[in-house]
Amino acid sequence: MKTTTSKLPQEFLNRISAQYPAHIDRIIAGFNQEIQTAIQHNFFSSKKPEGLAANPFSEILDQRPVFAHDPHWHAGQYYVQEASSQHLYALIKFSLEGLNEPLVADFCAAPGGKSLTALNAMEGRGVLWSNEIISSRANVLRENISKWGHGNSIVSSCDTSDLAEMGAQFDLILVDAPCSGEGMFRRDQIAIDEWNPGLPKMCAERQSDILTNAYHSLKPGGRLLYSTCTMAEEENDAQARWLIEEYGFRSLQFDGQAFGAMELEHGWLFTPGAQHGEGLYFCLLEKPQEEAWSLKGARKKGIDLLPRKREEQVKNLLPEIDLNSYTFFENKQGVRALSEFMIPLLDSAKQVRIPILQAGFALGIEKSGKWVPAHELSMMKRLPMHFNEVPLDFEQALRFLQLEDPQIQAKGWVMVTFEGSRLGWVKAMGNRNNNYYPKHWKLRKGI
């Protein structure tokens, strides 16, 4: 599959020819290359691919399979993500050096690829706050983070100005900003159809608002990783220049050229076809070391954690897991396990009335004195568990994902697996098996 330059807007071709005269032949050649498929493996996966030098979990595929037919994909063992974006792993790792429990935010997170990259780089430490303002896209984000199974995430759906109200909370903020999408032209016909010469300026204005909110949300000395999938200068280096002049950020040195990116004044640009991926701009900036405002005394109005007696009851209901390092929150949907590092963030969110879609990971719900385990619990890859596991073959796994009876011989609650990947829960009743895979994730037949 490829998009030839004959399909590209002429005004766009004229502008990039003037903007990148020394590189225009390379850019044009890239637009005419075949599109390659890339995936990123989970940090907690046992598979160790040989992919991009910038990301040890990346893999470039020879051809694009039907991912819906792979149980490992449903189990969150890997995520389909274009190659250029996966290079950000190296900048995230670089930004988190020396931080034991980093607090990271992804301000424009859906569908979740860069959040998953951040989680891989965090290696189970700290907290990642992923936000998506569009509610329908936020639901996709929740699904992908749940399947990734790291358990140290918070998901919200709000304007980034609401996050700024929480004060200077984060060590690193990712802003993969909504943009004119020029770097995706060879992959996305809709991006071509919706493009017009005035679109970059309109997008730049929106990006500036988001970046201002990111400034207020960063701790002193915190870092901002800004990226777009466009080639328009006003959305890229011009934004970095504005942040430096307006807020005193400094541009950090990083050898993006070593990964095949084009060096600009403040950042780097992957052109379509370079290093197997699409067009991507990125820069890394550091906030000045100045005193910053943050919320005080948020714990007084914080979230309602479980009392110690109820905590012990929950732990006793789940003897198969060591939950001693977690605290718990309970509502009508059930009990969730939270790390101690999430509590101040959730307290601050409550104080400024930010609705939280998901925090930590769900353990399950108690019904009539009996425990019903949550699907999120089965996806937790960093957590040793000692539940009864039943391996499925390929056909059984597909039946399970289609919400059918996988036809197993067992008794009670069992976790079904495929080639070592946890797929979810089945309650074996003797004469039948009740499938507890989430209904809204059902694999439709015929796909």
Q: Digits of tens for pLDDT over the chain (447 positions)?
A: 454 566 899 999 999 999 999 999 999 999 999 999 999 999 999 877 878 999 999 999 999 999 999 999 999 999 999 999 999 999 999 999 999 999 999 999 999 999 999 999 999 999 999 999 999 999 999 999 999 999 999 999 999 999 999 999 999 999 999 999 999 999 889 999 999 999 999 999 999 999 999 999 999 999 999 999 999 999 999 999 999 999 999 999 887 777 889 999 999 999 998 889 999 999 999 999 975 555 544 445 688 999 999 999 999 989 999 999 999 999 999 999 999 999 999 999 999 999 999 999 999 999 888 899 999 999 999 888 999 999 999 999 999 999 999 999 999 999 999 999 999 999 999 889 999 999 999 998 866
CATH homologous superfamily for 5-286? Vaccinia Virus protein VP39 (3.40.50.150)
Q: 337 - beta bridge partners?
A: 328, 361
Backbone angles phi, psi at 163, to 5 degrees: -65, -35
Query: How far separated are the first and last CA of the chain, in Å rounded?
Result: 20
Pull the structure tokens for residue 440: 């809204």
SS3 call for 339: coil
For the chain, the domains span 5-286, 387-447
Dist. CA 447–CA 445, nearest whole Å: 6
Catalytic residues: 229
pLDDT at 290: 77
DSSP state of 326: -
SS3 call for 128: strand
pLDDT at 142: 97
Contact 352, 342 (CB under 8 A): no
What is the chain's alpha carbon radius of gyration, rounded to the nearest angstrom? 23
DSSP state of 418: E
Q: In terms of DSSP H, where are the helices of 8-164?
A: 10-19, 24-31, 71-74, 83-86, 88-95, 113-122, 135-148, 160-164
Q: In terms of DSSP H, where are the helices of 282-402?
A: 308-317, 343-351, 375-379, 394-401
Dist. CA 211–CA 195, nearest whole Å: 23
DSSP state of 230: -
Pull the structure tokens for residue 132: 């998506």
Structural element, H or E, at residue 263: strand 262-263
What residues contact residue 369 under an 8 Å CB cut-off, 6+ apart? none
Dist. CA 289–CA 120, nearest whole Å: 28
Backbone angles phi, psi at 196, to 5 degrees: -150, 160
Q: Which of 183, 227, 226 is nearest to 35 (CA)?
A: 183
Half-sphere exposure for 416 (CA within 13 Å, toward CB): 34
Q: Which of 138, 134, 106 is nearest to 122 (CA)?
A: 106
pLDDT at 255: 79
pLDDT at 297: 47
Contact 170, 105 (CB under 8 A): yes
Dist. CA 424–CA 444, nearest whole Å: 17
Q: What is the DSSP string of 133-187?
A: SSHHHHHHHHHHHHHH----EEEE-S-HHHHHTTBS-EEEEEEE-----GGGTTT
**Fold that domain 387-447 belongs to in CATH:** Nuclear Transport Factor 2; Chain: A, (3.10.450)
pTM, two decimals, is: 0.95
SS3 call for 74: helix
Contact 160, 213 (CB under 8 A): yes
Rounded to the nearest 10°, the torsion over CA 39, 40, 46, 49 is 70
Contact 250, 217 (CB under 8 A): no
SS3 call for 192: helix
Dist. CA 414–CA 427, nearest whole Å: 6
Half-sphere exposure for 374 (CA within 13 Å, toward CB): 19
